[in-house]
Structure 1
Amino acid sequence: MKKITFLLVMLASVLAFSSCSHSETYADQLERENNAIHAFIVKKGINVISEEQFTKQGNTTDTTKNQYVLFSNTGVYMQIVEKGTGETIKKGETATVLCRFTERNLLRDTLQLSNQFLIFGAKVDKMSVTNTSGTYTASFDPSSSVMYDAYKSTSVPAGWLVPMPYVGIGRLTSAASKLSHVRLIIPSQQGHINATRAVYPSFFDLTFQRGL
């Protein structure tokens, strides 16, 4: 499984780097990234709303209108599909969070990585998340993380933590319980180590559940 994961990620990295000429500047790469994000927004018919409107709507996005809120300080776009059962991680608390995800490379518009399908489905990504006075930090558990297997880093992408103040991190305790579910467009500087190095944006579909 690890060999297949490694090959998939290496292929994506090679494709990303091969699209850059030797004379391309970092500004050129950022422009290409922004163009890829804009193209994805247009292709998917995404309705971008401001943080002000998001707040007025009770920190929710209307999925019937395909709304995504843009956080101007990070460049991350977020759609809350389901707020989920349970409470947010409290200030001063450290919680184990279990994640299911699918990642698309927006520069290539291709599926890049997932722990929801086939051979990867047996492993749920586990991360430890700490809320320090409203600032969230997190790390993957190397023994239970497809993200770690692929990218060889315990650092959780900063973009993954953007939803934390707005969604419940609970457990499925009854038929009425629901996992928090978000979709994120994450620019390279808020992404994982490969995205940052190759300067490509990612789209993540994520669910969160409180672990033991």
Structure 2
Amino acid sequence: MKKIFSLCALAASVIVISSCNKHETYADQLDRENNAINSYIIKNKINVISQEQFASQNNTTDTIKNQYVLFPNSGVYMQIREKGTGDFIKSGETARILIRFSEYNILTGTIQLSNNTLLWSSVVDKISLTNFKGTYTASFNNASSLMATVYGSTSVPSGWLVPIPYLKIGRLIHSSSKLAHVRLIVPSQQGQANATHDVYPCMYDITFQRGLE
């Protein structure tokens, strides 16, 4: 019952955010979003690097310098906290991936959704991820996904797939094993359904783990 009430509260908060945008043009919303992202970057002293510098660093970001790489084609900023100790998703492979995440609404400055909390700790978002010749597609398992339940879509945000080519996704099978871990700044057009509709950016803290086949 408590979880049902919490889901209703989350849905209500989504409606509130939506109602704030009725008198803005789309151009106004995009300007507001860009300003919010830039302010977040400045406030958090993020060091933005180019894809060229990222490649020269062996596709890594220096967390001590708080580096995030900007992908201009998508507008997504990515910080790799940990590449992981598993394997890359190979071309032609479909893998089951288990995700822990926290979603921070950059406009409101609040945690909007997370399965890292005690209330939702039993829910691990499951996705089916396919690599088709370097193009990645994924969908949530509707029976086990907080994102799909709250936002009403099994589509995995495009922004979540940006890190996949650079991560070795595995399981915690040894004491030295590490989960792939990233932080992302995701603009609305690369985000979940509500962010796309209402034009707001989110910051995500995400870990990826391979599920059992």
Q: Same fold (TM over 0.5)?
A: yes
Retained in 1: the 8 A contact 2:21–2:198?
Answer: no
Q: Which residue of 1 aligns with 2:192?
A: 192
Q: Which amino acid aligns with 2:142?
A: P
- The structure-2 alpha-carbon separation of the partners of 1:90 and 1:133, relative to structure 1 and needing over 3 Å to count, comes to same
Distance in structure 2 (CA, Å) of the matches to 1:159 and 1:104: 14
SS of the counterpart of 1:159?
helix
TM-superposed deviation, 1:17: 2.8
Distance in structure 2 (CA, Å) of the matches to 1:2 and 1:144: 15
TM-superposed deviation, 1:186: 0.1
Retained in 2: the 8 A contact 1:153–1:193?
Answer: yes
TM-superposed deviation, 1:137: 0.3
Distance in structure 2 (CA, Å) of the matches to 1:12 and 1:199: 12
Identity, % of aligned pairs? 61
Q: Which residue of 1 aligns with 2:54?
A: 54
Q: Please say if 1:17 is aligned against 2:18.
A: yes
2:10 to 8, 11, 16: 8
Q: Which residue of 2 aligns with 1:180?
A: 180
TM-superposed deviation, 1:19: 3.2
Distance in structure 2 (CA, Å) of the matches to 1:173 and 1:17: 43
Distance in structure 1 (CA, Å) of the matches to 2:73 and 2:4: 35
Distance in structure 2 (CA, Å) of the matches to 1:160 and 1:83: 15
Query: Unaligned regions of 5+ residues in structure 2, if any?
Result: none
Distance in structure 1 (CA, Å) of the matches to 2:90 and 2:22: 46
Retained in 2: the 8 A contact 1:12–1:112?
Answer: no
TM-score when normalising by structure 2: 0.96
TM-superposed deviation, 1:9: 3.8
TM-superposed deviation, 1:21: 4.9
Q: Which amino acid aligns with 2:6?
A: I
TM-superposed deviation, 1:7: 1.6
SS of the counterpart of 1:63?
coil
Q: Which residue of 1 aligns with 2:146?
A: 146
Q: Which amino acid aligns with 1:68?
A: Y
Retained in 2: the 8 A contact 1:106–1:203?
Answer: yes
Distance in structure 1 (CA, Å) of the matches to 2:132 and 2:79: 24
- The structure-2 alpha-carbon separation of the partners of 1:9 and 1:51, relative to structure 1 and needing over 3 Å to count, comes to farther
Q: Which residue of 1 aligns with 2:128?
A: 128
Query: Unaligned regions of 5+ residues in structure 1, if any?
Result: none
Distance in structure 2 (CA, Å) of the matches to 1:9 and 1:202: 17
Distance in structure 2 (CA, Å) of the matches to 1:2 and 1:88: 37
Q: Which residue of 2 aligns with 1:64?
A: 64
TM-superposed deviation, 1:203: 0.5
SS of the counterpart of 2:165?
coil
What value does the CA root-mean-square deviation take over the aligned residues? 1.0
Distance in structure 1 (CA, Å) of the matches to 2:107 and 2:70: 19
TM-superposed deviation, 1:8: 1.7
Distance in structure 2 (CA, Å) of the matches to 1:182 and 1:9: 26
Distance in structure 2 (CA, Å) of the matches to 1:111 and 1:49: 26
CA-to-aligned-CA distance 1:66-109 (integer Å, 9 cap, x gap): 00000000000000000001111000000000000000111111
Distance in structure 1 (CA, Å) of the matches to 2:44 and 2:36: 12
SS of the counterpart of 1:175?
coil
SS of the counterpart of 1:64?
coil
